[in-house]
A and B are shown apart, each in its own frame.
Chain A
Amino acid sequence: MTWDIFTDGMPELLVAAGGTLRMTAFAFLLAAMVGLVLALMRLAGGFAGRFAFLYIEIVRGMPALTLLFLIYFGLVPAGIVLNSFVAAVVALGLNGAAYLAEVYRAGIQAVDPGQREAAQMIGLRRPQVMRDIVLPQAVPVVLPPMGNYLVSLLKDTSIASLISAPELMLRSRDLAGTYYLPMEYYLLAGVMYLIMAWPMMHGVRRLERYFGRGRLQGGRT
């Protein structure tokens, strides 16, 4: 072990960690929005519902890495050349959308059907029912799994290093190779992921406990 790692490369690693956070944020936004559209399509049924179902099954059935390579390398013959950061955001976002669509669907279905019926009875239109009555009540069900997804997304951004997108893992690989100190730099990267992910994990745990209050616990030991 050597302490030089903190002077050689720490600034670069911190910048790279910023890239990781940025990538996580953008991919999360994309996943949250596309996921909601997919969930609504799925619940609408018909052709849209079948499309959403297929999308979700196919994307959840393949590794995020495969999707990433398909988008980054596989679209080039079709004339679509994305820069590595954008490709990573798109791939992680589209991958996450499939997961979040299922999360949203579960959340929406957890809302008592009586709520929807009552809202329609008092004359709200269907989009209004969804927006003003159903979705707000789905939030407590949806929030904890969304938090879990955010944590795993943060870690999954590390695969973007395999298409050389500027983030923490790529930079630590560069440094590990340059100074030939793989153990030090990968451990350091691990610690930095830990510092970012750990507060999120505990936040999610608190969310779960908060929203889980008052639920039946059954005969737990």
Chain B
Amino acid sequence: MNAWLTVGALLPVLLFGAVTTVEVTAGGFVVATLIGLVCAILQRLNVRPVRAAIAIYVDVFRAVPVLTQLFIIYFGLTEIGIRLDPLPAAIVGFGINGGAYLTEVFRSGIESVHQGQMEAAQMLGMTRLAALRIVILPQAMRVVLPPLGNFAIGLLKDTALASAIAAPELMFRARTLVDQTFLATQIFVAAAAIYLAMSLPLGYLTRRAEARLSRGRR
């Protein structure tokens, strides 16, 4: 029982790590969303080489483990003289990896909007890009939001891998504390509880947003 009290005293260190976890998640999420959105729109413009390049990007980055991608970015790039700190490396790694997933998500969202919408918008004199931005994307959000929320939850948990490149997030703090105190059970249980405390509300919010958006739809 004593050991659990010790963990109570160490909790601030873990919570400090949790803040970094949120930072990595948020950073990775923003980068991934930007990449996904841009790629989905570029794909839509129907330029053949661009389409092919994006298709390869999506397939390759989804077929390789994130951990491998993090190692390539953090350790591999040093060979060609690019040294990233753990935190930016993690954000870039998760962002590029997530971008591949979100490209598919945004693509299916855009495709779910009826073609007539684009035609009507163009009839009104909008350019394709303007029509996408003003007419298509807002309607695509209905389809996109649930998988986007699930992606955020998955990303939150995946950031634990950033501990392998020494980014000072929750899992890294937990591992460091275990090395110092040997209280593996207590500290990893505490870390798991903190992850749960972050991911469960995120899941709840996603489900609520989903329910709200599907209101009035069959």
Residue of B nearest to A70 (CB): B188
Least Cβ–Cβ distance between B161 and chain A, in angstroms: 6
Find residues 37-96 in chain B having any chain A CB closer than 8 Å to their own CB. Answer: 59-60, 62-69, 71-72, 75-80
How far apart are A167's CB and chain B's nearest CB, in angstroms? 10
In angstroms, Cα B114 to Cα A183, docked, is 45
A206 to B164, CA, bound (A): 35
Separation of A77 and B112 alpha carbons in the complex (Å): 53
A72: nearest chain-B partner, CB-CB:
B184
A: contact size bracket: 35 or more
Interface residues of A in 179-213 (CB under 8 A from B): 181-184, 186-187, 189-190, 193-194, 197-198, 201
Q: Are A62 and B199 in contact (CB under 8 A)?
A: yes
Are the CB atoms of B72 and A190 closer together than 8 Å? yes
CB pair A221–B114 under 8 Å, yes or no, is yes
**Total A-B pairs, Cβ < 8 A:** 135
User: Which of B120-128, B189-197, B205-213 binds A?
Assistant: B189-197
Across the interface, B185 reaches (CB within 8 A) one of A61, A65, A75, namely A75
**Residue B157 CB within 8 A of the other chain:** yes
| Chain B residues near A (Cβ < 8 Å) | 59-60, 62-69, 71-72, 75-80, 110-116, 118, 157-161, 163-164, 171, 174-175, 178, 184-185, 188-189, 191-192, 195-196, 199-200, 203
29 example contacts (A-B, Cβ-Cβ < 8 A) are as follows A61-B157, A61-B196, A61-B200, A62-B196, A63-B159, A63-B195, A64-B160, A65-B160, A65-B161, A65-B171, A66-B174, A66-B195, A69-B175, A69-B184, A75-B185, A77-B185, A155-B66, A158-B68, A161-B67, A162-B163, A169-B67, A169-B68, A182-B72, A182-B75, A182-B78, A183-B76, A186-B68, A194-B63, A198-B59
Residues on A lying within 8 angstroms of B by beta carbon are 57-58, 60-67, 69-70, 73-78, 151, 155-156, 158-159, 161-162, 169, 172-173, 176, 181-184, 186-187, 189-190, 193-194, 197-198, 201, 218-221
